[in-house]
Amino acid sequence: MTMTVTRGLSDVRPRPYPVATIGNFDGHHRGHRALLQTVVERAKQRQGTAIVLTFEPHPIRVLAPHVDLKFLTSPEEKLSRFEAAGVDEVVYLEFTSELAAMAAEEFANHVLHRSLGIAEIFVGEHFAFGKGRSGRIDDLVRFGNRLGFAVHPFAPITVNGEVVSSTRIRHCIQSGDMARAAALLGRVYGITGPVISGRQQGQAMGWPTANLSVPVHRVLPPDGVYAGWACLEGVKHDAAVYIGTRPTFATGERLIEAYLLNHNQDLYGQPLTVEFVERLRGDCAFGSPEALSAQIARDVEQVTAILRRQAGSVGV
């Protein structure tokens, strides 16, 4: 069944036994997936509707517009992952200053009860809602008892003793700790985009690359060289991945460049996902293209060893 995407609350209609959760779900990490799985399974038990209520734009864009918030998933990827999780309906609520000023009790009554008619809701133990985030789990339970819906607090998921959160994952990626980020995400972090034409500098040295523009609003690892995978039409190719401004050739536009170790076909215009497995080194300027080429050769050797080890450990 195709997932329904609803924008706003004007479409007030009866839904079979709505089981809901609320959040931004940036990253669709292990904690998000566990919560969504619980919601979907409960809805199936009651032959109901699994609903995700989320916000657009992200509340921080409204509440703290000076913060340069970067995201772990694009809007398209987020929707795709909701559908893959088995969610029946995603409701986008426009986050405005008026919504931010709504009292917690009014939010429960107007949004959850009257508009969505929820029967049950699952939210994190530290869930906060309403004006100034004044509403807490105990408040939601009290409102639910009065309005006729059940509230289920959901315990956080931990990995190696760390609570999984989007904020923690952003910090890991921005510091280049890709292994820790992958452990919390439950997958290797990647960026998807169409392959664009470059200056052909890599090809001139014998290292042709598939280039992606750097998405402005996405979380990115530090400039440098990474062992990674380039995913094309559902197939993963081993890749040496570079992100930076190519200082050896005078600083230019920041790009993501992937040298696919066993693939040399023309990829221009095709959608490509570049995944960052492990950081090798930082970016730097070399004295000549020849010196850079020699270093790339050493990088490719190291990438090959890392990915062989990675494949052995996870059965890729």
Q: What is the pLDDT of residues 83-126, one digit of tens each?
A: 999 999 999 999 999 999 999 999 999 999 999 999 999 999 99
Q: What pTM value is reported for the model?
A: 0.92
Evaluate if residue 252 carries a pLDDT over 90.
no
148 and 194 housed in the same domain: no
Alpha-carbon distances, residue 112 vs 52, 63, 139 (angstroms):
11, 22, 14
Q: Which band of pLDDT confidence, cut at 50, 70 and 90, is reported for residue 267?
A: confident
Average pLDDT of the residues of the chain: 93
Residue (of 98, 137, 112) closest to 19 by Cα position? 112
Q: What is the dihedral of CA 123, 126, 131, 135, to 10 degrees?
A: 80
Final residue in a domain of this structure, among 92, 123, 156: 156
* CATH code of residue 239: 2.40.30.30
208 and 297 housed in the same domain: yes
Q: Which band of pLDDT confidence, cut at 50, 70 and 90, is reported for residue 310?
A: confident
144 and 20 housed in the same domain: yes
Examine residue 165 and state whether it is found in any structural domain, yes or no: no
Instruction: Note the pLDDT tens digit of each residue in 5-28.
Output: 999 998 778 899 999 999 999 999
Cross-strand partners of 294: none
- Which tokens belong to 185? 């995400």
Domain that holds residue 242: 181-314
44 and 127 housed in the same domain: yes
Instruction: Note the pLDDT tens digit of each residue in 28-86.
Output: 999 999 999 999 999 999 999 999 999 999 999 999 999 999 999 999 999 999 999 99
What would you report as the CA-atom Rg of the chain, rounded to the nearest whole angstrom?
Answer: 23
pLDDT of residue 204: 66
Antiparallel, parallel or unpaired: β 150-154 and 120-124: parallel
Final residue in a domain of this structure, among 123, 140, 156: 156
| Single-letter residue type at 233 | E
Judged by DSSP in three states, 159 sits in: strand
